[in-house]
Structure 1
Amino acid sequence: MLMRIHCLDRSPQPGYQSRLRFSHKSRIRAAAVTLLLSLLPMGKALAQHGQGPQYMYLLHCGGCHIENGSGMPPAIPDLRITMPKLASHDEGRAYMVQVPGASQAPVTDAQLTEIMNWMLRTFAEGTFRPYTETEVTQHRANKVLDILALRRQLIAENLEAP
C-alpha cells in the first residue's frame, strides 16, 4: 500500500486533511492520559493520607456526625455527648459498632477498630478502654434489626442521657 507523504513546509490543498494531524478522538485520548498522569501524585498522596482513621471517619461517618462530631440531634446523636456515656458500658460499646454507618462501612474490622479508637480519643472526654479488633469483629457480626429501638433502650437505661 502506497501512502502519499507531503513535506511539512508545504500547506495542504483545500479540502485535503493531512495525515499528520491527530484525529479528534486521538486528541481527547491524549488529553485524558495527560490528565490522569498529572493526577497520579495527588492520588498517591490521598491514598497514603486516606489510610488514617481520621480520614476514614470523615469518609464513612462525617456525613452524618459532621467533622466535629456534633451530629444533628435528635436524629443523629452528638458524639461529644453520647460517646463518653456509651463507651463506659459494654452495651453502649456494642451499639456504637453496630450502628449501620459503622457495621456496614466498607472497611476491614482492623480499620473499623482504628476508627472507633480515634473517635474515642477525639470525642469522648476521659480515659476509655480502647476497642480491640476481636471486640469489633464480634459486635459487627451481631446484626441489630432495629437500631433505633436499641438506642431508645439505651437512653431508657440512662446510658445516653446527659
Structure 2
Amino acid sequence: MSLRTQEPSAGRRSWLRDHSELGVCGLLLALGVLVLTDALTMDVDLTQRGPVGPRTVPLAVGGGLLVIAVLLAVDVLRGGRGRAEGGEDVDLTEPADWRTVTLLAGIFLGAAVLIEPAGFPVAGALLFWGAAFALGSRRLDRDPLIAAVLSLVTYGVFDQLLGVPLPGGPLMGVL
C-alpha cells in the first residue's frame, strides 16, 4: 500500500524535474502581467508631443514577455530542453566570487543613493568606474576618464536629446 502512494509522487517529481523550465515560463508570465498592469494604470499626461506615448514601450515589453512565456511553455511541454553552450567558459565546480558580487551591489546602491544629491553625471561616473574596478580593471589612468565621458554623454543624451530629466547635481551649474 505504501508503494502505491509513493509512485505517483515520484512520477510527479520526475515530471517536474524534466519540465523545470516551466518555472522560467511562470516568472516571465508574472513579469509580463506586472509590466502590463503598471503600464495600463500609469498616470499619463494627455498632452503628449507625438504619436508614441509613455505607455508604448511598457505595453510592447509586457506583451512580448507574455508571448515569450507562452511560446517557451509550449516548447517545454513538447519536449524541448535548454542545452548548455559548448563554448561556455564557466567552471561550475568553482565557488561563486562573492567579493565581486558584493562590490558590484555596493557600488550600485551607492550610485542610487548619490544620484539625487550629487547628480547623475557624478553618480554615473562612480558607477561606471566602480563596476570596472570590481570586475578587475586596474587602469587608474584611463578608467576614471572613460567613466566621466560615458556618464556625461549618457546624461546629455537622456536629458537633452530624449527629454528625460535627470538630476544634474551641483556640477551642472558650473558646466
Q: Larger RCO: Structure 1 or Structure 2 (Cα < 8 Å, ≥ 6 residues apart)?
A: 1
Which protein is richer in helix relative to its size? 2
Q: In terms of Rg, which structure is larger?
A: 1
The TM-score with structure 1 as length reference comes to: 0.25
